């Protein structure tokens, strides 16, 4: 039986993919060029819901919905097995966007999500420090959870190390794929030679397209930077995640409050700017005026793996057998991660009934997104049937 898998990239998506493969009896080597969980998966807010879920295409909603249903048990087991708490907290999401009320209700009915509309007094009752001038009725989603990204990555790393079928290799950079005929046979590292495998799964986040440059199918993944701030606030200043005009604040258990985020296309540089710091500070103080008393402890940027409509690429490469993608989760990589890992394994193992319809995610369904066949890369590669 073919069962040697090479997972490239140790963000949340790669780590969960490795675990899901190994839990299904496959042997896995996870290769990460630095340390696992340090890129987008470290930088994110860990909100376990798309920000305005009704504004996303069904493909994002379906995967988020599946993950949301399975996260509570998953986190409980992870915490128990690793003795490390990723701080999964179901403290809800309050959205101050009355114009979205009708669409929100339709979405809630479709996905059986608990949703309440709160008037100004009710909003203040559950979140007393919130700015009284914010528009109501607010949309209250009490079941939405959050996780603390660095803690989740740490717990996942422990789980990887302890799994008998997983070999974790950090500080190994993958330079190229090794392809013979129409089949993947391994990956070439910049320093340690070739690693052979029956399956290679690309989970390299914003860097994924670079690795696929020679394969005649370039997923449209590009880095989209996001800056965030962390206030050193105190417990009980804020109890739930609040979202206003695309800006959100997230209370952590120790009282710290995250404020996010920007959306910038600045290539692969993780630049932090004074302009973003000002904008995020102003937006956060607009939500909770008392926040101005607290100092900003940290300011950082991460690179989201941007993709068309935020739909990740999950499934086998159109032209290279054994080469799979699980990447391009854009703004919702944490909330979609669990479902993505499971769907990827369903497809790799050719299961008759994958958890959801895989069509919208599969590279084979997304050929119209590919490169220009007249480009020099295409002409040089000659792998796809059109050339
Ligand atoms: C500011 C911000 C806020 C966010 N908030 C949320 C949120 O609240 N909820 C949510 O669901 N999502 C959120 N996201 C998005 C989410 O963080 C990402 O979608 C998710 O982390 C992507 O995970 P990943 O594993 O695909 O990528 P990454 O975490 O970026 O991991 C990719 C890994 O691949 C490695 N790699 C790349 N190239 C190579 C190579 N050649 N060889 C070896 N290794 C390689 C990298 O070093 C990296 O570790 C946010 C993102 C940002 C930036």
**Per-residue pLDDT tens for 345-354?**
999 999 999 9
For strand 222-231 and strand 296-306, is the pairing parallel, antiparallel, or unpaired?
Answer: antiparallel
Of the pLDDT bands very low, low, confident and very high (cuts 50, 70, 90), residue 301 is very high
Whether the pLDDT of residue 71 is over 50: the answer is yes
Residues 6+ apart with CB under 8 A from 236: 255
Of the pLDDT bands very low, low, confident and very high (cuts 50, 70, 90), residue 274 is very high
Domain locations in the chain as residue ranges? 4-43+151-219+309-381, 89-143+223-308
Question: In which region does residue 310 sit, left (phi positive, over 0), alpha (psi from -120 to 50) or beta (all else)?
Answer: left
| Residue to probe by mutation, ligand 1, list 49, 195, 334, most atoms within 8 Å of CB | 334
Q: Tally helices (H) and strands (E) across the chain.
A: 10, 17
Residue 3's nearest CA partner among 201, 202, 198 is: 198
Whether the pLDDT of residue 373 is over 60: the answer is no
Residue bearing tokens 């990723």 = 86
pLDDT value of position 214: 83
CA of 326 to the centre of ligand 1 (A): 12
Whether the pLDDT of residue 49 is over 50: the answer is yes
Q: Which atom of ligand 1 is nearest to the CA of 329?
A: 19
Nearest-CA residue for ligand 1 atom 51 is 44
Of the pLDDT bands very low, low, confident and very high (cuts 50, 70, 90), residue 382 is very low
- The CB of 50 under 6 Å from ligand 1? The reply is no
Strands (E), the chain: 4-8, 27-31, 93-95, 116-118, 138-141, 166-169, 174-180, 183-189, 194-196, 199-202, 222-231, 241-244, 247-251, 257-260, 296-306, 313-316, 323-327
Average pLDDT in the 319-342 region? 98
Whether the pLDDT of residue 102 is over 50: the answer is yes
Taking the C-alpha atoms of 314, 315, 316 and 319 in order, what is their torsion angle to the nearest 10 degrees?
Answer: -60
List the Cα angle 189/192/194 in 5-degree steps. Answer: 60
The whole-angstrom separation of Cα 153 and Cα 160 is 10
Q: Are 67 and 337 in contact (CB under 8 A)?
A: yes
Task: Copy the structure tokens of residue 122.
Answer: 């009710």
Average pLDDT in the 161-173 region? 98
pLDDT value of position 216: 85
Residue 98's nearest CA partner among 133, 56, 138 is: 138
Of the pLDDT bands very low, low, confident and very high (cuts 50, 70, 90), residue 191 is confident
Specify the CATH superfamily of domain 4-43+151-219+309-381: FAD/NAD(P)-binding domain (3.50.50.60)
pLDDT value of position 228: 98
pLDDT value of position 385: 45
- The CB of 41 under 6 Å from ligand 1? The reply is yes
Of the pLDDT bands very low, low, confident and very high (cuts 50, 70, 90), residue 375 is low
Residue 249's nearest CA partner among 95, 52, 55 is: 95
The whole-angstrom separation of Cα 358 and Cα 205 is 20
Q: How far is CA 87 from CA 45, 83, 145, in A?
A: 12, 12, 10
- The CB of 9 under 6 Å from ligand 1? The reply is yes
The whole-angstrom separation of Cα 128 and Cα 10 is 40
CA of 99 to the centre of ligand 1 (A): 31
Three-state SS at 177: strand
The whole-angstrom separation of Cα 83 and Cα 191 is 35
Q: Are 36 and 10 in contact (CB under 8 A)?
A: yes
CA of 127 to the centre of ligand 1 (A): 31
pLDDT value of position 387: 39
Three-state SS at 362: coil
The pTM is what? 0.95
- The CB of 224 under 6 Å from ligand 1? The reply is no
In words, the CATH class of domain 89-143+223-308 is alpha beta
Whether the pLDDT of residue 371 is over 60: the answer is no
- The CB of 305 under 6 Å from ligand 1? The reply is yes
Whether the pLDDT of residue 121 is over 70: the answer is yes
Average pLDDT in the 148-177 region? 97
Q: Is the link from the previous residue into 186 a cis peptide, with omega within 30 of 0?
A: no
Average pLDDT in the 199-208 region? 98
Whether the pLDDT of residue 87 is over 60: the answer is yes
Three-state SS at 65: helix
CA of 214 to the centre of ligand 1 (A): 23
Gap between the terminal Cα atoms of the chain = 34
Q: How far is CA 330 from CA 41, 78, 148, 307, in A?
A: 11, 25, 18, 6
| Residue to probe by mutation, ligand 1, list 18, 71, 304, 309, most atoms within 8 Å of CB | 304
């Amino acid at each position: 039986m073919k069962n040697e898998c090479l997972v490239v990239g140790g963000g949340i998506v790669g780590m969960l993919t490795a675990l899901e493969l190994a839990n299904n009896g496959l042997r896995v080597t996870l290769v990460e060029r630095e340390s696992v969980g340090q890129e987008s998966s470290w930088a994110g807010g860990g909100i376990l819901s798309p920000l305005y879920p009704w504004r996303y295409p069904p493909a994002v909603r379906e995967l988020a919905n599946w993950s949301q249903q399975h996260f509570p048990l998953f986190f409980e087991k992870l915490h128990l097995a690793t003795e490390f708490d990723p701080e999964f907290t179901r403290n809800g999401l309050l959205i101050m966007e009355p114009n979205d009320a009708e669409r929100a209700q339709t979405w809630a009915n479709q996905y059986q999500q608990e949703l309440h509309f709160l008037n100004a007094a009710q909003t203040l009752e559950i979140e007393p420090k919130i700015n009284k001038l914010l528009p109501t009725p607010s949309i209250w989603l009490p079941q939405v959870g959050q996780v603390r990204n660095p803690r989740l990555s740490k717990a996942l790393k422990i789980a990887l190390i302890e799994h008998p079928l997983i070999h974790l290799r950090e500080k190994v950079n993958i330079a190229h794929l090794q392809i013979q005929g129409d089949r993947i046979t391994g990956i070439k590292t910049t320093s340690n030679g070739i690693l052979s495998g029956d399956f290679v799964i690309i989970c390299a986040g914003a860097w994924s397209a670079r690795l696929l440059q020679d394969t005649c199918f370039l997923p449209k993944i590009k880095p989209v930077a996001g800056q965030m701030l962390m206030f050193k606030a105190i417990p009980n200043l804020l109890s739930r995640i609040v979202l206003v005009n695309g800006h959100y604040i997230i209370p952590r258990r120790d009282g710290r409050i995250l404020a996010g985020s920007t959306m910038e296309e600045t290539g692969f540089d993780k630049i932090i700017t004074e302009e973003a710091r000002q904008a995020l500070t102003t937006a956060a103080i607009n939500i909770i005026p008392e926040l101005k008393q607290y100092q900003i402890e940290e300011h950082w940027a991460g690179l989201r793996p941007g993709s068309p409509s935020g739909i990740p690429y999950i499934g086998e490469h159109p032209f290279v057998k054994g080469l799979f993608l699980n990447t391009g989760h854009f703004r919702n990589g944490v909330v979609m991660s669990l479902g993505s890992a499971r769907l990827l394994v369903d497809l790799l193992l050719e299961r008759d009934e994958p958890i959801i319809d895989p069509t919208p995610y599969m590279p084979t369904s997304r050929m119209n997104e590919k490169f220009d066949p007249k480009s020099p890369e295409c002409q040089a590669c000659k792998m796809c049937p059109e050339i």
